[in-house]
Amino acid sequence: MPDITRPPGARHSPSILVTGAAGNLGREVVDRLQTQGARVRSLLHHQAGPRPGAEPVIGDLTDPSAVRAALVGIDAVFLIWPLLDSAPAHDLVAELAAAAPRVVYLSSTAIDDEAAHQSDPIVQVHADMEALLHDAGLRPRTLRSDTLASNARGWSAQLRAGDVVSGPDVARTAVVDERDVADAAVAVLLAHQDQLDDEPSVLTGPAVLSRADQVALIGAALRRRLRFRALPADLARSRMLADGRPERLVEALIAASVCRPDSNRTTDHVERLTGRPAGTFAKWAIDHAAEFS
């Protein structure tokens, strides 16, 4: 596998493929890689790229020919698997094994390494993807991320219309700023292989928060008294289906809300990788307040 780091002034710039490049996290990763001088390629469903300067390849992770084309000349891959089933990933993993780039996989802190089966389909697919990548001999560098702060953007329509966020409640977790996850991902993508170990990094924010806590912190940023109203599973399911969300995704989200246990775990892994502590959700809410008003 080619080295993706060089001494200052060296001619070679690492070439990195970013999947999910048009998403909340992917855009942050692309921006940071470009700032660091990396050559960035993105695999996209549509022609519009996430940022100027990133070379787009139009295709899908389940299309081996598109993946093969996207991997030509690539030193490292930031992999976000978008489906609720790992079976379609077998061809992708085969292409990765043939091209042999460094793989940095975004996984979930909710994985229980001692469990035969994970708590819900979302966590299960992450565990299955980790196993697929390891079994293929890729030695992926795994970043297990807690709930991304950017998920709160899904409440923006409700908060522009009123002061209540309604939805299924979920387990308390150490919500992590997606910008911190992006910084950690870029640090790993650009690090020398000898500087890394095979253990997953567990990326969390500094405080364990409920959805009610998050809504209250957004309210503080907006100087409004906001509250979260938990919906029973059946009502939450019917509302999400009425909003047009795919049935399989809705069932996975309901299963996560019902079955996933609280997590009280916080780590310093963001700081280990980036050199600075993870930011707070309160700071994230201040920085993104305009999106909710």
Which sequence spans correspond to the domains of the chain? 15-144+178-202+266-274
* Residue 39 contacts residue 2 (beta carbons within 8 Å): no
Say which CATH architecture domain 15-144+178-202+266-274 belongs to.
Answer: 3-Layer(aba) Sandwich (3.40)
- The DSSP bridge partners found for residue 230 are 167
The rounded distance, in Å, linking the Cα atoms of 269 and 283 is 19
- pLDDT (tens digit, 0 to 9) for every residue of the chain, 293 residues total? 333 334 344 446 899 999 999 899 999 999 999 999 999 999 887 655 445 568 889 889 999 999 999 999 999 999 999 999 999 999 999 999 999 999 999 999 999 999 999 999 999 999 999 999 999 999 999 999 999 999 999 999 999 999 999 999 999 999 999 999 999 999 999 997 666 667 899 999 999 999 999 999 999 999 999 999 999 999 999 999 999 999 999 999 999 999 999 999 999 999 999 999 999 999 999 999 999 99
The rounded distance, in Å, linking the Cα atoms of 109 and 240 is 25
The rounded distance, in Å, linking the Cα atoms of 2 and 74 is 9
Q: Is 230 helix (H, G, I), strand (E, B) or coil?
A: strand
Residue 56's φ and ψ, nearest 5 degrees, are -85, 140
125 alpha carbon, distance to own chain's centre:
13
pTM value is: 0.92
Residue 207's φ and ψ, nearest 5 degrees, are -140, 145
